[in-house]
Amino acid sequence: MVARTQQRWQTPTWKQELAAAFNEPLALLGALGLSPAELPEPLQPAPDFRCLVPQGFAALMGRGNPYDPLLRQVLPLAAEARPTAGYVSDPVGDGNARLAPGLLQKYQGRALLIATGACALHCRYCFRRHYPYADEGPQQERFAAAIAALEQAPDINEVILSGGDPLLLDDPVLAALIAALDALPQLRRLRLHSRLPSILPSRITERLCAILAGSRLQLVVVVHINHPAELGEDAHRALLSLAELGAPLLNQSVLLRGVNDAVDTLGELSESLIRARVLPYYLHLLDPVSGAAHFDVPEAEGRRLITQLRQRLPGYLVPRLVREQRGAAAKTLLL
């Protein structure tokens, strides 16, 4: 079941939930019955990438657990401020792949549109945490420039709406963008990269589903879930609504120290995903973005985890272990 269609004059539930999200680590800790003294290390007093956590996501965390794997993904710790060799602001070379402002092409046949810089949850390990969104110009101009660049690129047959989170666009903006993409004859597929089905499931409304179903393009949805506890009942229902559109649903995770660096956790994640009609797609090694070194899991450990996972699960429940390498023609497969 999806959220009931809102009356026109009401603020949609998902926007109300976004406005009520925690943006203060102390408030979040308080809601979890934790004090900063119980944390493994101090909070980062003034993070450049602010704290943002919807209440529904916080409700999935264990009370009183300073090591909770969901909390760890969102809590700005002092470790973020420690410079680490090899950790940089643009670890994946986004800056060298621009076809137009906010339109990136690294791989043959597909281009990635940074639809918005906004996210509903600020993941501390985000490889775009330093992306210069503000330099890209106003939304309508960016979209017009992106469409114009795509008109000149007949070899691109798939557009990926990414971000930030593309589902944070308002319905009319998203509908207009999709309509403009529909009109490009060379496009076959529209891919959405979104974390909202799990972190803000109320965003998956009937109206949104109708907009997605109205496109002539084949829809593929890639969600981002790192730990089985992120898949609560609301997320499960939101994913089933998307599955009803007939779109393949795939998941990408990042392998994160202290979050999902255990074979039992990864196995449970795959089992929870498939119950919601989602197949595991990628397990990314951490991109070395400055501020995220405390999440690093070495490649050898990633290989060992995947090898163990393959001994336990059917092949379709084992994600591909990948690393993004600057200038490579595809994500680098590590196993």
Ligand X SMILES: *Cc1c(COP(=O)(O)O)cnc(C)c1O
| Interface pick for ligand SF4 out of 12, 163, 201, 267 (rule CB under 6 A) | 163
**Which listed option, ligand X, ligand SF4, none, makes contact with residue 148 (CB within 5 to 8 Å by class)?**
none
Please list every residue from 13 through 52 that binds ligand X, using CB under 6 A.
none
CA dihedral 131, 132, 138, 142 (to 10 degrees): -60
Backbone angles phi, psi at 309, to 5 degrees: -65, -40
Q: Which residues pair with 158 in a beta bridge?
A: 110, 189
The minimum distance between CB 175 and ligand X, in angstroms, equals: 23
- The answer to whether residues 146 and 184 touch, using CB atoms and an 8 Å cutoff, is no
The minimum distance between CB 75 and ligand X, in angstroms, equals: 26
The minimum distance between CB 224 and ligand X, in angstroms, equals: 12
| Interface pick for ligand SF4 out of 158, 165, 230, 287 (rule CB under 6 A) | 165
Q: Segment near ligand SF4 (CB under 6 A), from 96-104, 123-131, 183-191, 296-304?
A: 123-131
What is the DSSP track for 186-213? Answer: T--EEEEEESHHHHSGGG-BHHHHHHHH
The minimum distance between CB 48 and ligand SF4, in angstroms, equals: 13
Q: Which is nearer to ligand SF4, 223 or 276 (CB)?
A: 223
Backbone angles phi, psi at 223, to 5 degrees: -100, 180
Q: Segment near ligand SF4 (CB under 6 A), from 94-102, 158-166, 176-184, 233-241?
A: 158-166
122 binds ligand SF4 (CB under 6 A): yes
Q: Which of 92, 112, 125 is nearest to 222 (CA)?
A: 112
**Which listed option, ligand SF4, ligand X, none, makes contact with residue 195 (CB within 5 to 8 Å by class)?**
ligand SF4
Q: For residue 323, what are the contacts with CB-CB under 8 A and spacing of at least 6?
A: 284, 285, 299, 331, 332, 334
Q: For residue 167, what are the contacts with CB-CB under 8 A and spacing of at least 6?
A: 174, 192, 194, 196, 203, 208
Backbone angles phi, psi at 113, to 5 degrees: -105, 120
**Helix%, strand%, coil% for the chain, nearest 5:** 40, 20, 45
289 binds ligand SF4 (CB under 6 A): no
Query: Contact letters (x/-) for ligand X, 106-125, by CB under 6 A?
Result: xx--x-x-------------
Give the separation between CA 231 and CA 274, rounded to whole angstroms: 11
133 binds ligand X (CB under 6 A): no
Residues of the shown chain interacting with ligand SF4 in the complex, contacts defined by CB under 6 A: 119, 121-123, 126, 128, 163-165, 195, 224
Residues of the shown chain interacting with ligand X in the complex, contacts defined by CB under 6 A: 97, 104, 106-107, 110, 112, 160, 330-331
